[in-house]
Amino acid sequence: MRIENLRNIAIIAHVDHGKTTMVDKLLRATDAFRANQQVQERVLDSNDQERERGITILAKNISIEYKGVKINVIDTPGHADFGGEVERVLRMADGALLLVDAFEGPMPQTRFVLRHAIDTGLKIMIVINKIDRPGAEPERAYNDCLDLMADLGATDEQLEFAMEHVIFASAVNGFARLHPSDETMDMYPLLDMILDDMPAPDADPDAPLAMQCVTVDHSNFVGRIGIGRVWSGTIHAGDTLLVVKNDGSTQTAPVKQLFTFDYLGRTECNSVSAGDIAAVVGIEGTDIGDVYTDPASPVDLDPIEIDPPTLSIVFEASTSPLVGREGDIVGARQLKERLFAERENNVTMKIEELEDKSGVEVSGRGILHLSVLMETLRREGFEFQVGRPQVLIKKDEQGRTVEPIEQAVVECPDEYAGKVIEVFGNAGGTMTNMATGTTVTHLEFTIPTRGIMGLKNRVLNVTHGEGVFYHNFLEYGPYAGDIGGRNNGAMISMTTEKAVAYALGTLQERGSLFVSPGTECYEGMLVGERNQPGDMVVNIARTKNLGNQRSSTADISVQLVPPRTFSLEEALEYIIDDELVEITPKTIRIRKRLLNATDRKKAAARALNSNRA
């Protein structure tokens, strides 16, 4: 039976196409806030990093009420590194709003999220956003969306629904229209279309209970909270449930508290009926894919498969000579405890201690996915160090070695296309498609994840900053062999002192610097990059020899080029195997794993002898 007073919809889009802003306007249109209430923009991006980076990291559930119908809205991440969230939460929805920028049209990660929506069988309504943007072409963007859906194998029914249901909107200005030239200045056409045409949940509240956990929240007070859609029956506070795990094992557990979503918050309730989304407290150790069902007449649901991580990084306690100066938490035990706590509520990451207890290996979906965790730790006062990201290589069913392969897309001015193709060729990439426009060339490549690391800067350099570069995980493919890494050597400090302008002035002739005068440096720390291969140990504290003769140029100061600074992601992509990134609440430093130059020479000699043997 159809639950007519309920709708479950997801909002999917490429990064920065306006999902979270659209949710803001839907909340305002349905009077979620008081008239005098001060509300920040992108209210759902509550995490500090989400607001600073301008991306959604965690999928979030809210509900709005319009004309007596409750609409559960799921705001999903657009970045492929957080695709683990998208895959699961789409199962809670019956339909999806596909947001596309009217100027940019469908982008690489539009393809990524749309594929999941099509595979889940959702009805898809197209929303062409930012139609007021200069240079916007709403009709072209709409036609490109339909072409993309056909490309991804959408059914005839899904295509017909999308052709008949399109909205032209400007989320930032708070209007949605049936046609770009309409004069409508509110969101009601979109809300009306959701009510009239999006399918209501098809469920039976009187059947045996079946609910599946698709996302896990965590509270320090009540532990794990399982969130999912009730597929059939009714769940009551105080019920005893049969919990069926993904591996087929079972346990019974009581429902201690039950919540439903109400605008931006959760409301405790006594029961939740089929079709609605619930949060359940009391299922100890609950995990993604757990089925909550009636012990007397259990119901089977398909298990949920989460795409495996593709990259791993080892977290270690900092061994820097400057340890403890900027952070409050520096111990290996505290770092391990904090990472194991993260394992409780971040199910898309795999977190395990190394066998020799020297560190904790954290595996995730990409550099951004892992760096968000590092940024969270440094804001909490941790000091730690991490090694180079390692691609997770495995054996397939035929015993062949396979590695993760990414799909990369570059759009750049025509004159730089050749240089971009050369950069990808040197990194193990294969061009799969090339389309030339009037001024812009669209290039598509498949490339091993190993080759992607550090590629963004090279693409920006050869396109003079005009290239647009996106990539996302495609599949596991045959191992591509050795891929060249960083070509240039490093300048490595020989002493633990502050950098001096005179020394840096002579060093900048040999390459680019990472430090400025007065920066605290230590033996083994990278202070710059050479213009040629091979590492070079340098004295960053060398001063000018003073004689008793006054020079006519003595008062002319040294002219230094501003140092190259690294974001966390850039530092992780820059380092090679014998280097580490030291992370503190205030600073990101790059250092050698072995700080002493003699120790590094001995290690290199041992490695050479073992290779000969």
Rounded Cα–Cα distance for residues 307 and 365 (Å): 9
Q: What is the mean pLDDT of residues 546-558?
A: 58
pLDDT, tens only, 373-402? 898 898 889 999 999 988 888 888 888 888
Set out the domains of the chain in order of their start, with CATH numbers. 6-197 (3.40.50.300), 210-293 (2.40.30.10), 394-478 (3.30.70.240), 490-545+552-612 (2.40.50.250)
Q: 65: which strand partners?
A: 70
Pick from 351, 331, 334, 335: nearest CA to 343? 351
β 511-513/526-530 pair status: antiparallel
143 is in an annotated binding site: no
Confidence of residue 477 (pLDDT cuts 50, 70, 90): confident
**In 3-state terms, the chain is what percent helix, strand and coil (to 5)?**
25, 30, 40
Say whether pLDDT at 153 is over 90. Answer: no
369 is in an annotated binding site: no
State residue 85's pLDDT score. Answer: 61
Pick from 15, 161, 7, 125: nearest CA to 73? 7
List strands edge to edge, sheet with 511-513.
511-513, 526-530, 490-493, 536-538
Q: What is the mean pLDDT of residues 201-228?
A: 81
State residue 385's pLDDT score. Answer: 93
Confidence of residue 37 (pLDDT cuts 50, 70, 90): very low
21 is in an annotated binding site: yes
442 Rama class: left (phi>0) / alpha (psi -120 to 50) / beta: beta
524 is in an annotated binding site: no
Say whether pLDDT at 308 is over 80. Answer: no
25 is in an annotated binding site: no
Instruction: Kindly report which listed range (13-22, 74-83, 105-114, 397-406) carries the lowest average pLDDT score.
Output: 74-83
Amino acid identity, position 450: R
State residue 479's pLDDT score. Answer: 85
131 is in an annotated binding site: yes
The structure's pTM equals 0.72
Counting residues of the chain whose pLDDT is more than 90, the rounded percentage is 14
Q: Residue 241 in contact with residue 253, Cβ under 8 Å?
A: yes
Burial bucket for residue 156 (CB in 10 Å: 0-12, 13-18, 19+): exposed
> Kindly report the CA angle at 116 between 115 and 121, in degrees rounded to 5?
100
β 277-281/360-364 pair status: unpaired
Q: What is the mean pLDDT of residues 451-480?
A: 82
- At 438 the three-state DSSP class reads coil
16 is in an annotated binding site: yes
129 is in an annotated binding site: yes
